[in-house]
């Protein structure tokens, strides 16, 4: 892997600017959640032990779903539950893909899925626990868990934002630590295989969470929403791989590594807040925020900025 010329000074100033920017664009929360009450202890017990394989991940997601579905604002309407439902569906599809002839290295893809899930469960277990704050990217969603002013579609996409724009790069690092860094070797097509799963599930999942008027808009625009969301999936997942490569190169320099993590987290949080600025512009806002974060990341790491 090529060396990374990381701009620590710019990273420090960017982290501060991102925190200030998030405060400016964040919308008020009508019902702020601070933990998983009234099921805080049940949730913490569920996520305390980390899963070892993808079947255990699925079982854990189902158990978490049962807890979330009992939480405010009313049974079955918790906003984190909306994301968990989506995540469970995608994970079940990934599990099936491990037996597909299209999967080159099932072990690698399963380890990635497990490490990915562990980060989500870790975030769930940190919420409301003193000294264990989850990443800012997750906090954007978690604090709105009980807020019925946030649509379930918005909430689901907030979770996807935190999961892909923050967690995925870290899951790749953990996978490379366990199995070795593959570069663009035979495992990379398996990474892209998950994109195909998203492409197949996006129309069904979006319509599951859509309100009545959103369904009417969906009929009017035809395949346009599906096309734009495929671009989002491809763009954000490609960026996650690039971020992981940068972090991998920085892993022996704790200060630069920590600065890079902070920028990645705060940029993801800003993208999440931008999502809530208007449902009708959801895809445009997220794509714009992601493109901006990508440009910032490449400036920090000395990578060429693509047009």
pLDDT value, residue 289: 54
Confidence of residue 240 (pLDDT cuts 50, 70, 90): confident
Q: How far apart are CA 8 and CA 254, in angstroms?
A: 12
pLDDT value, residue 281: 43
What are the structural domain ranges in the chain?
8-301
Q: Could you say which DSSP state residue 193 is in?
A: H
Tokens 């009992």 — which residue?
A: 70
Confidence of residue 6 (pLDDT cuts 50, 70, 90): confident
Mean pLDDT of the residues in the chain: 81
The length of the chain is 307
Burial 187-216 (b: 16+ CB within 10 A, else e): beebbebbeebbeebbeebbeebbeeebee
224-250 and 282-301 helices, crossing angle to 10° = 20
pLDDT value, residue 297: 60
Q: What is the mean pLDDT of residues 138-166?
A: 90
Q: Is the pLDDT of residue 254 over 80?
A: yes
Specify burial of residue 74 (Cβ count, 10 A radius: 0-12, 13-18, 19+). Answer: exposed
Q: What is the mean pLDDT of residues 162-176?
A: 93
Taken in order 139, 145, 147, 149, the sign of the CA dihedral is positive
pLDDT value, residue 208: 55
Confidence of residue 47 (pLDDT cuts 50, 70, 90): very high
Q: What are phi and psi of 95, to 5 degrees?
A: -60, -40
Q: What is the mean pLDDT of residues 255-283?
A: 79
Does residue 214 or residue 234 have the better pLDDT? 234
Q: What are phi and psi of 11, to 5 degrees?
A: -60, -45
Q: How many C-beta neighbours within 10 Å does residue 157 have?
A: 26
Tokens at 228, concatenated: 């734009």
pLDDT value, residue 48: 94
pLDDT value, residue 227: 38
Min mean pLDDT across 93-97, 205-209, 241-245, 268-272 is at: 205-209
Give tens-digit pLDDT for 173-222: 999 999 988 776 677 888 888 877 876 766 656 555 544 444 444 444 34
Q: How far apart are CA 136 and CA 266, in angstroms?
A: 6
The model's pTM:
0.84
pLDDT value, residue 284: 47
Does residue 149 or residue 58 have the better pLDDT? 58
* Cβ-based neighbours of 58, under 8 Å, separated by 6 or more: 88, 91, 92, 95
pLDDT value, residue 273: 87
Q: What is the mean pLDDT of residues 69-92?
A: 91
pLDDT value, residue 149: 87
As a whole-number percent, the residues of the chain with pLDDT over 90 amount to 39
Q: Is the pLDDT of residue 307 over 60?
A: no
**87 neighbors 65 (Cβ within 8 angstroms):** no
DSSP assignment of 232-260: HHHHHHHHHHHHHHHHHHHTT-HHHHHHH
Does residue 305 or residue 173 have the better pLDDT? 173
pLDDT value, residue 135: 95
């Amino acid at each position: 892997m090529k060396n990374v010329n990381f701009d620590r000074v710019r990273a420090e100033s960017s982290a501060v600017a991102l925190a200030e920017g998030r405060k400016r664009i964040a919308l008020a929360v009508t019902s702020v959640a601070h933990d998983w009450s009234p099921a805080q202890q049940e949730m913490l017990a569920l996520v305390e032990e980390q899963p070892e394989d993808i079947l255990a991940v699925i079982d854990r997601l189902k158990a978490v779903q049962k807890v979330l579905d009992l939480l405010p604002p009313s049974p079955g309407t918790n906003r984190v539950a909306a994301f968990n439902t989506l995540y469970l569906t995608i994970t079940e599809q990934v599990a099936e893909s491990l037996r597909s002839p299209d999967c080159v290295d099932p072990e690698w893809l399963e380890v990635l899925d497990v490490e990915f899930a562990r980060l989500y469960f870790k975030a769930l277990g940190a919420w409301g626990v003193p000294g264990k704050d989850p990443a800012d990217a997750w906090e954007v969603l978690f604090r709105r868990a009980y807020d019925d002013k946030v649509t379930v579609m918005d909430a689901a996409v907030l979770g996807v934002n935190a999961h892909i724009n923050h967690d995925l790069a870290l899951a790749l690092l953990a996978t490379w630590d366990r199995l070795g860094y593959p570069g663009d070797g035979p495992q990379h097509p398996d990474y892209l295989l998950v994109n195909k799963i998203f492409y197949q599930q996006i129309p069904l999942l979006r319509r599951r969470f859509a309100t009545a008027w959103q369904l009417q808009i969906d009929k009017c625009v035809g395949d346009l929403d599906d096309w734009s969301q495929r671009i989002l999936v491809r763009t954000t997942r490609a960026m996650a791989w690039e971020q992981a490569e940068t972090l991998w190169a920085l892993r022996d320099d704790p200060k630069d590594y920590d600065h890079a993590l902070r920028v990645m987290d705060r940029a993801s949080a800003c993208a999440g807040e931008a999502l809530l600025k208007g449902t009708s512009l959801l895809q445009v806002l997220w794509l714009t925020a992601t493109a901006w974060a990508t440009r910032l990341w490449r400036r920090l790491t000395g990578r060429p900025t693509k047009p």
